[in-house]
Chains A and B, each alone.
Chain A
Amino acid sequence: MIKANHQLDAKGFACPMPIVKTKKAITELEEGEVLEVLATDKGSKADLAAWASSVGHQYLGTVEDGDILYHYIRKGSNEPEVEKNFEHTVSLEEIESCNGLILDVREAAEYAFGHIDGAKSIPMGELESRLEELDKEEEIYVICRTGKRSDLAAQLLANNGFTKVYNVLPGMNEWNGNITKEV
C-alpha cells in the first residue's frame, strides 16, 4: 500500500463521521505529513476532497479495494510563498528535453498519485540518509509540488558535494505533461 505517516480507521461510519474524525485525526500530524483514512462511506471520497480544499489541506487521492476506500490527505498544503535560495533553476519545459535524473522529493503518497515518468522518489525527509542512491556525476533535477521542498533538497545536495543540481520551478502543481501513477 501507499506509505502514510498516520492512519485513521473510519470504516463503518456514515456521514458526517468520516469528516469529523479526519478533522480530529489531522491535528496529530505535522505540517506536510500524510494521513491515510480508511472508510466505507461512499460519499467520503467527494466529501474529503471538498473538505481538504476548503480547510487548506491537500487531497492526494483515493484507492478503492473492495468496499474499503483508502483516502490520502497531506496536511497544510497551502504553503506560504517563501524565498527560494538555490540559484540553479530550470523550468518545467526545460526538463522535458534534459538528460539526467528527475528527483521527486514529495511524500511517497503524492508521488504514487502522479509523477513524471522515470522520476525517482526520495521524500525530502529521507534524502539525507539516502544520498548514496544518487550519482554525483549525473545531472539531478529536483522537483516537488511548488518548488519549496525541492529548493531545500537542492541545497542539501549541493552541501553534500553534488554539483550538477537544479531546482525545477514551479513544480508538479503546474506540470501538464504525462504522469505515471503507482495506484
Chain B
Amino acid sequence: MSEKVAIIAANGGMFDAYKVFNIATAAAASDKEVQIFFTFEGLNLIHKQGMHNLEMPAGKEHFAEGFEKANVPSIPELVKMAQDLGVEFIACQMTMDVMGLTKEDFIDGIEVGGAVTFLDFAKDAAPTLTF
C-alpha cells in the first residue's frame, strides 16, 4: 500500500478548497505523506488575501449558512491544520510567472516548483487526485 497521497488543486473556488483540504488533512491524519500541487486558479487557495475571500459557485451562495450550521472549519483553519499535519504545498512556478505572482504573495511554508517536482513525488503515490 502506498504511503503517499498526491493532490492537484487546479481550481480556486470555495468548494474546490474544501475538497482539496478535507482530503489532504484526512490523509495526513491517517499517517500518509501528502503533497498538494497548486496550479492555475488553484493558487488562489494559498494566496495570502485570496484564501480569505474564496467564492461560492454562482447561485450556490445560500450554502454559506449550511457551512456555518455544520460547524465546518474555515479554509484558513484547514490550511493551518494541514500544514501542522505535515502536508506539503507546492506552488506552480509557471502559473506564478504567467500571473505575475511571487512567493511572497502566498502563505508561509510553501515551496515553489515545476511539474516535475510534483511528478517525482506522485510517481509512487496512490491515490493521485485532481480537483
- Over the window 31-71 of chain A, the binary record of Cβ atoms lying under 8 Å from chain B Cβ atoms (1 yes, 0 no) is 00000000000000001000100110000000000000000
- List the B side residues contacting A51 at CB < 8 Å: 29-30
Among A14, A16, A23, A51, the most chain B Cβ lie within 10 Å of the Cβ of A16
- List the B side residues contacting A16 at CB < 8 Å: 22, 25-26, 29
Interface of B is mostly: loop
| Alpha-carbon separation in the docked complex, A143 to B85 (Å) | 38
Contact in complex: B71, A14 (CB < 8 Å): yes
Q: Does A20 contact B (CB under 8 A)?
A: yes
| Alpha-carbon separation in the docked complex, A16 to B25 (Å) | 7
| Alpha-carbon separation in the docked complex, A22 to B31 (Å) | 12
- Over the window 24-45 of chain B, the binary record of Cβ atoms lying under 8 Å from chain A Cβ atoms (1 yes, 0 no) is 0110011100000000000000
Interface of A is mostly: helix
Which of A14, A22, A23, A54 contacts B70, CB < 8 Å? A14
* Contact of A20 with B25 at beta-carbon distance under 8 Å, contacts A14-B70, A14-B73 already known: yes
Q: Does A125 contact B (CB under 8 A)?
A: no
Q: Does B81 contact A (CB under 8 A)?
A: yes
Contact in complex: A20, B30 (CB < 8 Å): no
Range for the number of chain A residues in contact with chain B: 10 to 19
Q: Does A15 contact B (CB under 8 A)?
A: yes
- List the B side residues contacting A47 at CB < 8 Å: 26
| Alpha-carbon separation in the docked complex, A132 to B67 (Å) | 56
Which of B26, B70, B71, B72 contacts A19, CB < 8 Å? B26
- List the B side residues contacting A55 at CB < 8 Å: 30-31
Q: Does A156 contact B (CB under 8 A)?
A: no
- Over the window 83-105 of chain B, the binary record of Cβ atoms lying under 8 Å from chain A Cβ atoms (1 yes, 0 no) is 00100000000000000000000
A51 and chain B: residue at smallest CB distance: B30
- List the A side residues contacting B72 at CB < 8 Å: 14
B73 and chain A: residue at smallest CB distance: A17
| Alpha-carbon separation in the docked complex, A17 to B77 (Å) | 11
Report which B residues bind A (CB closer than 8 A).
22, 25-26, 29-31, 70-73, 81, 85
29 pairs, A vs B, C-beta closer than 8 Å: A13-B73, A14-B70, A14-B71, A14-B72, A15-B22, A15-B26, A16-B22, A16-B25, A16-B26, A16-B29, A17-B73, A19-B25, A19-B26, A19-B29, A19-B30, A20-B25, A20-B26, A20-B29, A20-B81, A20-B85, A22-B29, A23-B29, A23-B85, A47-B26, A51-B29, A51-B30, A54-B30, A54-B31, A55-B30
